[in-house]
Amino acid sequence: MLLTIDAGNTNTVFALLDGKTIVRQWRISTVVQRTSDEYTVWISQLMRLADLDPADVNGAILATVVPPVQRHLVRLCVDYFQCDPLIVGDERVDLGVGVRVPNPGEVGADRLVNAVAGHQLYGGPLIVVDFGTATTFDVIGETGDYLGGVIAPGINLSLWALHEAAAKLPRIAVEEPSTSRVTGTTTLDAMQSGIYWGYVGLLEGIVDRLRQEHDPQMRVLGTGGLARVFFNRTDAIDAVDGDLTLHGLRLIYERNVTAPAVS
């Protein structure tokens, strides 16, 4: 099995894949101070509960946008799973796509992984919208090249800032509204409407401008935990794939690791 690790700003997702099948996946908050020993205790217990053996893991790949956690995650792979992980962003790892921006090293590893998976699984040209800590829009050309994108504040980040900056505004969750009515009659309704329909407006506006710049027929693929919350209320998203990053890591691993010959 292949171990994939996607370390984001808020959460780190571990997944075990058997070919294209996701066998298990687990999520833990991203904490810079967490050591490889702590990761080992955590994941060993979860694997035991799932009746999985670390010896069945024969490869690993890691992508992170939080550099300080990389060393501990690499140590986890080496010590517990007995394998050296591929690291997205390492110059020796071939993504199979061009990165057509002035400073390719500035592009987050997760965005490049999504570009690889988006093109191989859905074709191009394509816009990938990832609803994470930041809401990112990534433009993939017809031949799979990464062309750039847009970074906006994430939804939960915006909610946190609103609550912190305004004394009388409570913390709320992002939810799909029960009606299409925009006008709120309570503070809670008004906040939920502002966040939800505000992000729909941001989504539709940026997608429209990107299509004008590149190709009016570009498809839009949503990913990230909140993608489905918006999918049913806007025509700006053509499809949703919550496992896009995991499959992108798998595809990059398969591209870079030659399977052993069968005798």
- Residue 102's contacts (CB-CB under 8 Å, 6 or more residues apart) are none
Residue 109 counted as an annotated binding residue: yes
Residue 114 counted as an annotated binding residue: no
Residue 198 counted as an annotated binding residue: no
Residue 110 counted as an annotated binding residue: yes
Residue 148 counted as an annotated binding residue: no
One-letter amino acid for residue 48 of the chain: R
Contact 57, 16 (CB under 8 A): yes
Q: Which of 37, 110, 145, 208 is catalytic?
A: 110
Q: Give yes or no: 110 in active site.
A: yes
User: Can you read off the two tokens belonging to residue 92?
Assistant: 């020796």
One-letter amino acid for residue 93 of the chain: V
Q: Which of 259, 233, 251, 240 is nearest to 130 (CA)?
A: 240
Residue 11 counted as an annotated binding residue: yes
Residue 234 counted as an annotated binding residue: no
Residue 60 counted as an annotated binding residue: no
Quick one: 164 exposed, middle or buried, by C-beta within 10 A (0-12, 13-18, 19+)?
exposed
Calculate the alpha carbon distances from 108 to 22, 90, 111, 204 in Å. Answer: 24, 12, 5, 23
Residue 185 counted as an annotated binding residue: no
Binding site as annotated, residues: 6-13, 108-111, 130, 133, 187
Catalytic residues: 110
Binding site as annotated, residues for ATP: 6-13, 133
Binding site as annotated, residues for substrate: 108-111, 187
